[in-house]
């Protein structure tokens, strides 16, 4: 019998590969400077949220937080694959660097008292999702090309669902 996690992981990878393949029409057209900057910022956000989620799985106290973080890891992996499918090889070769404040945040969470970890992590997940939602909304309103609009709208809905799950969980 194949463990459910492996089935889920393989499914996510297959879906991600299909999403990346569907982006061929985007790669045929060069990204504008604004689109490239937006996707680079989105990739950095994905990198931070992936690290936050892995940290929540390791150090979280509540089983609900750990379960949510596990889902977030899979969703962020799919999003990372989709972003790579929308970009050129040159863009992908650039390392996604975390900002200094992100590194500081991760260190603060890693050294946070376990009793306070869940509350601090939930606050940070809500904040990071709010920032990502604002960025995606601005990209949509600022005239993202039709080739990016579908990605932006789908991701905006996914981000809003994530934020709402965290907000609901933080009230429990």
Predicted pLDDT of residue 108: 92
Longest dimension (CA), the chain: 51
| Higher pLDDT among residues 145 and 99, named by residue | 99
Is the per-residue pLDDT at 97 higher than 70? yes
Predicted pLDDT of residue 150: 84
Predicted pLDDT of residue 85: 84
pLDDT in tens, 8-64: 544 545 555 544 444 444 444 577 888 888 888 888 888 899 999 999 999 999 898
SS (H, E, C) the chain: CCCHHHHHHHHHHHHHHHHHHCCHHHHCCCCCHHHHHHHHHHHHHHHHHHHHHHHHHHHCCCHHHHHHHHHHHHHHHHHHHHHHHHCCHHHHHCCCCCCHHHHHHHHHHHCCCHHHHHHHHHHHHHHHHHHHHHHHHHHHHCCCCHHHHHHHHHHHHHHHHHHHHHHHHHCC
pLDDT in tens, 146-158: 668 888 888 999 9
pLDDT in tens, 54-84: 999 999 998 989 999 999 999 999 998 888 8
Predicted pLDDT of residue 34: 82
CATH architecture of 4-170: Up-down Bundle (1.20)
Query: CA dihedral defined by 52, 55, 56, 57, rounded to 10 degrees?
Result: 130
Predicted pLDDT of residue 13: 52
pLDDT band for position 6 (cuts 50, 70, 90): very low
Give the lowest-confidence range in 40-44, 54-58, 98-102, 167-171: 167-171
Q: Would you say the C-alpha torsion 75, 50, 71, 124 has a positive or negative sign?
A: negative
| Higher pLDDT among residues 144 and 20, named by residue | 144
Predicted pLDDT of residue 117: 93
Please tell me the pTM assigned to this model. Answer: 0.75
Contact assessment for residue 77 and residue 47, using Cβ atoms and an 8 Å cutoff: no
Mean pLDDT value across residues 135-151:
78
């Amino acid at each position: 019998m194949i463990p459910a996690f492996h089935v889920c992981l393989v499914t996510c990878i297959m879906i991600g590969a299909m999403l990346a393949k569907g982006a061929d029409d985007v790669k045929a057209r060069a990204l504008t400077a604004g689109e490239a900057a937006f996707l680079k910022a989105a990739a950095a956000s994905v990198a931070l949220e992936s690290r936050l989620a892995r940290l929540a799985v390791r150090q979280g106290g509540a089983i609900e937080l750990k379960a949510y973080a596990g889902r977030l890891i899979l969703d962020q992996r799919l999003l990372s694959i989709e972003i790579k499918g929308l970009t050129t090889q040159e863009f992908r070769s650039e390392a996604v660097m975390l900002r200094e404040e992100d590194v500081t945040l991760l260190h603060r969470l890693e050294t946070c008292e376990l009793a306070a970890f869940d509350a601090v992590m939930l606050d940070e997940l809500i904040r990071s999702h709010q920032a990502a939602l604002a960025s995606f909304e601005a990209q949509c309103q600022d005239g993202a090309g039709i080739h990016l609009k579908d990605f932006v709208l789908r991701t905006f809905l996914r981000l809003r669902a994530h934020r709402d799950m965290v907000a609901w969980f933080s009230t429990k």
